[in-house]
Amino acid sequence: MSSARRLSVTCPNCKRPFMADVYHIVDVGRNPELKWQLLAGNLNVAQCPHCGMAGILGMPFAYHDPEKELLLIFMPNEAGLSSNDQQKLIGSLTQEVMMSLPQEKRKGYLFQPKTFLLLDSLVNAVLAAEGITPEMLEEQRRRQELINSFLRMKDDEKGFQMLIEQNKERLDYEFFQTLTAMAEAMAQAGDEAGANLLLGLRAKILKAVAPERPAEEVARLEAEQPLTREDLLDALLEIEDEQELEAMIALARPLIDYSFYLLIAERIQALEKEGRVDEAQKLSQLRERVLEITERLDEEARQALRRASDLLRQAYHAEHPEQVIQEHINEIDDLFFYVLSVNMEQAVREDAQANAPAIAKLRQIAELAADAVERRMPPALRFVNQLLRAGSDEERRQMLENPPVPPAELTELVEALIRQFQTNGQDGVVRKLEMVRELLEHKAEAPQA
């Protein structure tokens, strides 16, 4: 029932077609491993064999959990289907799920599937069915917001201490666990500066609360440490699935360095001395596989960076940069904007006055690229982007008087974006999104005329 279909998809980066395995029915009653693939962000992931770009395919699918009596339909905007075609596809997916079941198991919930535009929202529904309630998710969000508040106050000792006094009861084990997990995520993403910032914040908060906490509690909190190279090696040894191995290596790439390979060599030597030849051989094979995968990942990253730099150079020297951007719109991504910002910062740092024409040209390219990307966004995302650019809350309020999508859908999208940018550590964007969310909440609470 949950067998993947081999479909032809087009790479958004190099625009070349390739074949990919795609699940259109995810029946976790028959294939429970698919639930964990979904929750880990590994379901319907494909990598272009031509350019190496990888990501989640924005293709519709049905998620069926008979034990939880759950039928969910993922219908992303990227699918580009009309409302009529969406309804036909929902009916087709539902029918396929029903026909796979014996008559006595065709229950009422199958006739009322829930549809989701955002994968994040569908995942939340799956988590809720697992007993992870919206309240738990909300509490986790509040912890992340508190961490961001501490980061904003880290250089203001008075404000920092006041924040601690106001939130003493919330500075519990789960809070420090969340802080540690965020630091780990940043380290694994290669943001060592961000990870160190969070670990420094953690130490500062611990020091502030230590005098008022029992010694054993402080010891327990201090014991929570980010992933070590030893932890990573132990985890890799336990993995048997090749895709899972590659995913773990990609996430933990910053830890795979000279010290990591030295650790492997020491373990191999120790195993050989103890006569555990099979284990030593397994570790040697793992070392070779890790080396192969990291070399490939690094080369893919270098190529992607080179492509982004070449595109920026082409736009910069073009008489009509907007034409270059339009022709290469599918290549305008986060990496392109990163390369652009690095070049702009370098020009300012070297000599802002002498480099004024270059800085102006780079700003023009940034605006043209942002506008081009926005025009291709789904209506809801485009509207949120416009709200973020608005000059004042009053202007945002006026825009919210006539939104292009239902307010509930808008709120759902803003919540998902806040979580995404919190994970990426983009506090400035998070603060603006939080203001938009507050305006949406006020509008929802206001009496309707």
**Is residue 347 in a domain?**
no
Judgement on whether residues 295 and 312 belong to the same structural domain of the protein: yes
**Residues 27, 344: contact at Cβ < 8 Å?**
no
Which amino acid is present at 139?
A: E
Whether residue 268 is found in the same domain as residue 206: no
Domain that holds residue 173: 135-226
Max Cα distance, the chain (Å): 81
If asked whether residues 11 and 120 sit together in one domain, one would say yes
26/112 same-domain check: yes
Query: Is residue 220 located within the same domain as residue 272?
Result: no
pLDDT at 94: 92
Query: Mapping DSSP to helix (H, G, I), strand (E, B) and coil, where does residue 49 land?
Result: coil
The answer to whether residues 221 and 260 belong to one domain is no
Output the pLDDT for position 429: 74
Can you give the pTM of this predicted structure?
0.43
To 5 degrees, how large is the angle CA 209–CA 224–CA 293? 145
Report if residue 87 sits inside a domain. Answer: yes
Both 20 and 99 in a single domain?
Answer: yes
- Residue 423: the pLDDT is 58
For the chain, list residues with pLDDT below 50: 212-218, 220-224
Q: Do the domain assignments include residue 255?
A: yes
Rounded to the nearest 5 percent, the helix, strand and coil shares of the chain are 70, 10, 25
Asked if 49 and 125 sit in the same domain, the reply is: yes
Asked if residue 242 is part of any domain, the answer here is yes
Q: What is the pLDDT of residue 218?
A: 46
Determine the pLDDT at residue 189: 55
Structural domains in the chain (count): 4
Check whether residue 35 and residue 126 sit in a common domain: yes
Which CA distances in Å does 170 have to 161, 182, 297, 329?
14, 17, 40, 45
The predicted pLDDT at position 62 comes to 95
Looking at the fold, whether 93 and 139 belong to one and the same domain comes out as: no
213 and 245: one domain? no
- State whether 270 and 312 are in the same domain: yes
Residue 367 lies in a domain: no
Residue 178 pLDDT: 77
Q: Which of 226, 258, 274 is the last residue of a domain?
A: 226
